[in-house]
Amino acid sequence: MNLNFFVLYTILTVFSASTALEYAPIVNTKHGQIRGLINTVGLWTKSYFYQGIRYATAERFSKPVRVESFDEEIYDATKERNSCPQFLNGLGNTDVHHMTNKSEDCLFLNIFKPIPNIEDDDAKLLPVMVWFYGGGFQCGTIFFPLYDGTYLANYGNVIVVSINYRVGPFGFLYAGTEDVPGNQAFYDQIMGLEWVRDNIKSFGGDPDQVTIFGESAGSFSVSTLVISPLAKGLFRRAIMQSGSMVPTIRFSNKQGAIDKTLKLAKDLNCEQQEMSKIIKCLRSKSMEEIKNVATDSIEKMISNQMIGPIIGDAVLPKDVSRFQHGSNGPVDILFGVTRDEGSFFVVHFLPELKDNNIQMSEDKIRENIRKILSFYHIQDHEEIENYYIKRIDTTDYNQVRKMFADFFADLRFNCPVVLFAKEIAKVNPENRFYAYRFDRLSIVSDKMHCYDWMGVCHGSDILYTFSHPFMNYYPPDARLSHDMIKSWTKFARTGQPGPIGPFEWPKAFDSNNNSSIQWMLLDVGYRTVIDIYENSCEHLWRKQYVDWFAKKSSIKDEL
């Protein structure tokens, strides 16, 4: 599987190669001077690229500490810096294991700026788009070539920023103490946004026109920042691509987080009576020792068995996570999913789905649904089984396989995104909301570990959001990518993504009713539909999320 992604990586880097290093203008920031380079993608698309700017430092398991000044007279932002340690096997994004240096010293950000034309007004500040990568909070890096912001910056005339944040135990370990608070990754993201607020004007960006966007765990992060009191005032708009923090099994309460810390301590022979001694022991271990015991499979990640986000701290207080206060003021939100979010993931629970010839009885189908639900401690399974089984011919294996993919997509992606938007709209009706579903079967699906029956997989929209040189060889895909970039950046500029192509993009919610959602379907053609997920999300899954959150909140947090 890794080989396929290296093929794509090679394509991108060959087209991105520059014959000679050209320098971008030196920028004066509050922390010192920064020298960047001119980045060339494809044959002629260029941007100013300030790569690997240090925005913070951090002790292991602690909150980040702001960088006050650079050590160098002129900071060298012409070279790739460290990625954070990675903790997940079996996901395409984990090919970062082979691409960059990994170190706990990894709190860097990238900035892409369009090279101005002679006639451009240098005094006019550009909108800013800040990207948070996905990877299940266990892997990811801003140095992954798919996240090159050159096309996005040029076609959309925006400043693109991407922020490294810690993942796995280094990003989320919780000990109930001030120096091991949990949710360190979110503190990283917030500090990165504070750096943008304080410095982006020096790069020609407007600190009052910041849009945060991300995919998968990055989208989860975006939704968390939308309602976190610590992120208030740091951005104006948000784009959520396939994920939200609607209380699902991805969260732990504090006791659950402590249990995971104790398990890690046991695995590393750090069992002690006092938490302070446990943390001291964990801090004495090498990065590789921790990686060796904490790195695990994708099924462990998606069933919340790995160290991850917690509820009930300063980033996400309980009352905020119940949506009682809505978003941090007037935050416009563009949200969406891909058509077949669940197909890539469900095969990790049920490997037999990869077999094109296998047959599955109705009893076995029900057993497998219960198997997946058991990972999420959902006991009320009969209603869920009946809902999905009654929609298909159980003797048609293609329908059975598609049913499992839809079931998992609703559980983990579709309904969390839908219900998050609805809850925020209830409390903040003055905010603008727009919805999309990405329906294009990618020309490089197999390079994204998305094969045959899987359809439009999770993550398929990333290539089109950022665009890449090979797109130019497929005109329909190039047009779709350019239209999406135009819509994403128009939303960042105005709060409205439309029109797209010749079509108006309607608001997601009617002014008098936020129960129905109008979706823009993104393919080589465009059309709008209403209430794609209403039945499953409102009538089936909403109750499960409410019950889950009530159970999480009923456990005492005082430790």
Sequence spans of domains, the chain:
2-344+410-534
pLDDT digits 0-9 by tens, 336-382: 999 999 998 998 889 899 888 788 999 999 999 999 988 887 878 99
CB contact at 8 A, 212 and 239:
yes
Report which of 28, 66, 71, 30 is spatially closest to residue 50, judged by C-alpha positions.
28
Structure tokens at 262: 């104790």
129 CB-side CA count, 13 A: 35
Structure tokens at 413: 């992606």
Element (H, E) at 261: helix 254-267
Identity of the residue numbered 428:
N
Sheet holding 37-41, edge to edge: 37-41, 45-54, 108-114, 159-163, 126-132, 205-215, 237-241, 332-338, 433-438, 518-522, 526-530
From 216, 244, 467, 481, the catalytic residue: 216
Examine the residue annotation and report whether 458 is marked as an active-site residue of this protein: yes
3-class DSSP string for 399-433:
HHHHHHHHHHHHHHHHHHHHHHHHHHHHHCCCCCE
Residues of the chain by 3-state class (helix, strand, coil), percent to 5? 40, 20, 40
Q: What is the DSSP string of 30-58?
A: TTEEEE-EEEEETTTEEEEEEEEEE-EE-
Peptide bond into 127 cis (omega under 30): no
Structure tokens at 33: 């001077």
How much is the pLDDT for 380? 82
The arithmetic mean of pLDDT across residues 14-39, rounded, is 84
From 31, 97, 348, 458, the catalytic residue: 458
Q: What is the CATH number of domain 2-344+410-534?
A: 3.40.50.1820
pTM: 0.93
Q: How confident is the model at residue 249 (pLDDT cuts 50, 70, 90)?
A: low
The arithmetic mean of pLDDT across residues 292-307, rounded, is 76
- Which of 5-19, 36-50, 533-547 is predicted least confidently? 5-19
Question: How far apart, in Å, are the Cα atoms of 487 and each of 155, 175, 257, 422, 431?
Answer: 11, 43, 39, 22, 18
* pLDDT at 301 exceeding the cut of 70: no
314 vs 230: CA distance, rounded Å: 7
* pLDDT at 430 exceeding the cut of 70: yes
The arithmetic mean of pLDDT across residues 309-323, rounded, is 79
The arithmetic mean of pLDDT across residues 233-255, rounded, is 87
How much is the pLDDT for 298? 72
From 215, 341, 385, 423, the catalytic residue: 341
Q: What is the DSSP string of 308-374?
A: --BSSSSSS-HHHHTTSS-SSSS-EEEEEEETBTTHHHHHHH-GGGG-TT----HHHHHHHHHHHHH
Sheet holding 74-76, edge to edge: 27-29, 32-35, 74-76
Is residue 301 classed as helix, strand or coil in its secondary structure? helix
CB contact at 8 A, 223 and 320:
no
CB contact at 8 A, 240 and 150:
no
Report which of 61, 51, 59 is spatially closest to residue 110, judged by C-alpha positions.
51
Q: How confident is the model at residue 554 (pLDDT cuts 50, 70, 90)?
A: very low
Dihedral of CA atoms 242, 243, 248, 254 in degrees, nearest 10, equals 150
529 vs 517: CA distance, rounded Å: 8
Structure tokens at 192: 């990165």
Report which of 12, 31, 84 is spatially closest to residue 466, judged by C-alpha positions.
12
- Which of 146-150, 400-404, 547-551 is predicted least confidently? 547-551
